[in-house]
Every structure is written in structure tokens, then in C-alpha cells.
Amino acid sequence: MAKRFIGSVEDEWQLYSDNPEDYTLGPSIGFGASSIVYSALYQPRSSSGSKPIPVALKVLDLDSLPPHALSLLKTETTLMSLSKHPNVLRVRGYWMDGHKLYIAMRLMNKGSAADVMRYGWPGGMEEDVIRCILSQALQGLNYLHINGFIHRDIKAANLLIDDDGTVLLGDLGVAANLDESSSPRKSFVGTPCWMAPELIQGQQYDAAADIWSFGITALELAQGRPPRSRDSSQQVLLKIIHEAPPTLTREGGVHKYSRAFKEMVDNCLVKDPSNRPTAAELLQTPFFKSTKRKSYLVGAILSKYLLVVLSGYGLTLFRGSSSPRATPGKARKEPSFLYMFH
């Protein structure tokens, strides 16, 4: 019996078929050790008169994946195919062809919040923009939490933005189901700058670890980089454990921020996870009361963002060779882009 997700909604994006003949493969837009991502057009043979839909098609060579990667892939594909929420990236179709797995997803033309910030707002974003991005991400995160999942890698690079201003949680490869075994969890996963103290110390953790990462992501969007990002990974981990939590500087930076924003961040970055708010509680805080509609992002940032990049489908953006098919490590000086598997 299929798992029913609490709070599921029918989003506005249709599912695609699992018939390979319904897809016209385009050029590759990214690659990794075990995968290639293509742009493609989806047009069902049964409705040839309909307008083709641009999609991202991720092709994975299962024979080249180690056992632990296969487990993460299974988790990601299952979660992304079952979930139904407008703020969680969903697998729209998938099929096997020999030892290759094909995964069809919505094409997110504007990349991630980190991409947008890196090329347009390197010093941080304005509060209204941050609020609009975080509100949508938090709704997706709340959906995962109430259904027993924790994301475990919340950061700006995993907040995908589409042309209409929709923000979706992506890269669910390290998400964990709290119901699969005795909860909370104890495994060590995540990205150092965003990791919660209890996770670093090997203590049991739950959805509250995502809330810490969410608070760090808020600071990342306000400052242009996460706290302690200039330190080595080992230094970051030690400072997260032994130093006071970072906080938002309201003035003195590129933009000024409200007291409500600072309070929201401080509430997320409490070292005792039992004292952190839930995602649902955060959505009710004063900071999110004045959230603008997603269309606000179109005029505020996307219309000014001319560089079209793609990341978040389990990929990382690198500067590299002028050819998207080039071999990693053969980088040239030309400003172009390669996409590598996490």
C-alpha cells in the first residue's frame, strides 16, 4: 500500500509518463562520476498536438554506484516521487533501461538561491526577498517534518527557484525517515557550516537539526555566505560546538534588517534542540507575517538575473571548461560552467 503523506496537495505541475518515447533528449547540462543531466522535451505520443514541456532528465549508471550511494538514491527517488507539495522538488517520472536509471524532473531555470545570490547579490539579499524565499522553503520543510522525514542538508544551494518565483527544496539524497528505525537519528551527515551541534557531537537528533540549518541558511542569505565559511571544516565543527551561536547583524552590512528577523534567527540557533521552534511554529512568527507572494521574486530578483544556471538536482556548480562534456580537472580560464555530482 502506498504511503499517504499528510498535507499533500496537488501541485500545478503535471506528472510525466514513464515511457522513454515521450521524451526528446537535448544537450547535457551537467554531469558527475555516475550521472549525466540533460535538458529534454516531454511530449506524450498520445497527445502529439500538445506543447512540449521542458524537463530535466537525470541519467544514472547504477553499475558505477557504491552500495551506500544506491541506498541514498533509493531514499531520494522514493521521497521525491511520493511527496506532493509545491515546495518540494518532485520526481515526475522515472524508468529503468538496462543498468541505467532515468529520472525526469521539472526544469528549474534559475538554479538555486545560492546561485542567484552569488552572481547578483554577493553581499546578501534584502529582507523582503529573504523572507519570501525562506517562507516557501519552510512550508516544504514543514511538510517533510510532519510526514516523519528530516532533510539533513538545508542550505541556500538546495533551495531551487523557478521562473515564476516558486522555491522548492531539492537534493533529498540524505533525507531520513524517522520511522525507519528507532528515532531520533545518530548518523553523521550534512554540510559542516550548516550542521547542528548535536549532530556534530554524535548525539541523537531529530527534525530540530533542520531548524538549526534553516537559521544558518537565513544568515547565509543575509550575509552572502554562511557563518565561519572561511574556516577549515575541522575549525567549523569545533566552533559550532564550543562557541556561542552566530547571530544576525541588523545594521552595518549591505542591508538593514528588522528585529523580527534577528529574533527568528536566534530562535533557530539555540544549542539545546528541545528549545528550538518547529517549522510550523516558525511560520507563525512575526517575521513571516508580512511575506509577499512568490511572484514578488520575479520582479525583485529574477528579472534582473540574466545568468541561467542549473543546480540542486544533486549537483554542484563549478567554473571550468567551456565544454559541458569536459573532463573534471581539465579546467580552463574561460568563465563557463560544469555541473558535478555531489
| Residue in 314, 280, 261 with CA at minimum distance from that of residue 132 | 261
The number of angstroms, rounded, from the C-alpha of 58 to the middle of its chain's C-alpha atoms is 16
Q: Positive or negative CA dihedral for 203, 225, 77, 168?
A: positive
User: Which positions are catalytic?
Assistant: 153
- Could you write out the three-class secondary structure of 187-220? CCCCCHHHCCHHHHCCCCECCHHHHHHHHHHHHH
Q: Positive or negative CA dihedral for 126, 129, 135, 140?
A: negative
Give the number of other CB atoms < 10 A from CB of residue 296: 16
Contacts of 316 (CB under 8 A, 6+ apart): 157, 339, 340, 341, 342
Cross-strand bridge partners of residue 150: 176
Question: In this structure, are residues 38 and 28 in contact, taking their beta carbons and an 8 Å threshold?
Answer: yes
Cell numbers 531520513 correspond to 176
Question: In this structure, are residues 47 and 19 in contact, taking their beta carbons and an 8 Å threshold?
Answer: no
Q: Strand locations in the chain, DSSP E?
A: 23-31, 35-42, 53-61, 91-97, 100-106, 149-150, 159-161, 167-169, 176-177, 315-320, 336-341
Taking phi first (over 0 means left), then psi (-120 to 50 degrees means alpha), and beta for anything else, what does residue 251 get? beta
CA pair distance 203, 186, nearest whole angstrom: 6
Q: Would you state the cell numbers that stand for residue 222, as one nine-digit string? A: 543575509
58 annotated as a binding-site residue: yes
61 DSSP assignment: E
Binding residue ranges:
58
Binding residue ranges for ATP:
58
